[in-house]
Structure 1
């Protein structure tokens, strides 16, 4: 089993090399109506290991998202979004390509970055994750399809690393560059273990508190407190991205989602997101939040279906819809932002019907 998995991993990695070599893909009848005088800036934040249930904006009992809550009336907060799997490669290689649980091999048939390039956007991939780790190299290959890619961190997530605000500084630099049509992907470390390394000391907010948990141990309390501090820092980071984008006063949006969730001693006595552990909702339930500028709202109508069942293996189609790019391969029924969106079965871990399993 291990040998077969290893062979498959390296085989997939070789196939994904195409994304850096062929940056426009092979999409058919691509169209995008541009106003040459209007600036467009679209930012997509890829979160990491963040369970929806730990965000105050989703009614968590702790105040983990004070800044997002302060602009709640400007946000579309999606309440029923899940990830198709519990690790980065399995989720993002579907989310950013034509791949989905019905056809996993379609992940080699085209990426959202290729589509954006073909539609004449200038694309950027800015990552605070180690580009050569086992967990991230497949995703890196998709990111290398962008016009410009930056990898700001060479350490593993388990180590003490630079914080996600470095992505905000790079975003600000990119926004000052020439070019009117930009899509910028920010790949954050989010709340990835080791949780205590994901935030500066000034965000050590939940310190000696005793959090709610069925497991009454100090080590449990320490991990939950550290995780919630990391969520609170993520709130700061997302807000900084929104405010940096807002200052440009252009047609823009910021879309945030997490690649998968995390179990932190709530439904099971463990923390992390390992695929072979017991299934819990926290492994799959993820936040997804959209902020749009006033100029964007004037030109583009979004149909907010905040409680609809949605899985991010369809994110390719949803992003294409948000930036108003059309192609034969784009399916509006798979975009949660579209009036034509249709709910579908949500199959996780390759074969489990999520909504039946957790009913």
Structure 2
């Protein structure tokens, strides 16, 4: 009897680990829960979990570039033999080039809620979570979210929710996911953002990367 029960247990466990249906179902469940957490914690401009003890009023301008679907294996900066980003390579000595950065998830939509928030893979903190966007708002920055991805859809929901906390938002790809817009088109929007009033600016550029192949 014991051997039969053990066999059933391992068979069930093996089925779950290798079943495509189970994997998809589990992924959808995790995504929906992540979306609920983000809506609860990160969608509003301000967050009650943030307490500013001392505010620096020195003029500052920052640009956060969020790339997607791009492997370091194909970047000249990391030793790729084709000269695909020579401008970065020219200033390599001025950069902090991270060699051992590891994503908390294999999927962008799950990584996003951790990369830009206090919440992490090892230490989930849904009850005391906030995003970098909300932190910048509380610190007196004029925040901008400029995206070359659709503001709606399965894959873009979590990034859109996090970005919606910015004081200014701009989405370039609003017609169709198949309508290709090069990432360079965010540059005019970046220039506009930097010209807006305020000496403390923080701009987030959310790129499409190589998601679209033309």
TM-score by length of 2: 0.79
What is the distance in 1 between the residues matched to 2:162 and 2:86? 33
CA contact (8 A) 1:30 1:119 kept: no
Aligned counterpart for 2:106 among listed residues 86, 91, 97:
86
What is the distance in 2 between the residues matched to 1:191 and 1:49? 5
The answer to whether 1:21 aligns with 2:44 is yes
**Partner-residue secondary structure (3-state), 1:84:** coil
Q: How does 1:1-359 map to 2 (within 5 A)?
A: 1=22, 2-3=24-25, 5-18=27-40, 19-21=42-44, 23-35=46-58, 39-106=59-126, 109-154=129-174, 155-156=176-177, 159-192=178-211, 194-195=212-213, 197=214
What is the distance in 2 between the residues matched to 1:90 and 1:8? 8
What is the distance in 2 between the residues matched to 1:69 and 1:142? 31
177-186 or 94-103: bigger deviation:
94-103
What is the distance in 2 between the residues matched to 1:13 and 1:49? 21
CA displacement, residues 258-286 of structure 1 (integer Å, 9 cap, x when unaligned): xxxxxxxxxxxxxxxxxxxxxxxxxxxxx
Distance apart, 1:4 and its partner CA = 5.3
CA contact (8 A) 1:32 1:119 kept: yes
CA contact (8 A) 2:76 2:84 kept: yes
CA displacement, residues 160-212 of structure 1 (integer Å, 9 cap, x when unaligned): 411111111100001111111011000001122x33x2xxxxxxxxxxxxxxx
Distance apart, 1:131 and its partner CA = 1.5
CA contact (8 A) 1:24 1:117 kept: no
Change (3 A) 1:8 1:75: closer
TM-score by length of 1: 0.49
Change (3 A) 1:61 1:121: same
What is the distance in 2 between the residues matched to 1:162 and 1:41? 26
Change (3 A) 1:104 1:139: farther
What is the distance in 1 between the residues matched to 2:151 and 2:128? 19
Matched positions, count: 190
Change (3 A) 1:107 1:6: farther
Distance apart, 1:127 and its partner CA = 0.5
CA contact (8 A) 1:25 1:114 kept: no
Richer in helix (by share):
2
What is the distance in 2 between the residues matched to 1:21 and 1:65? 36
Structure 2 segments unaligned to the other structure (5+ residues): 1-21
Distance apart, 1:112 and its partner CA = 1.1
**Partner-residue secondary structure (3-state), 2:166:** coil
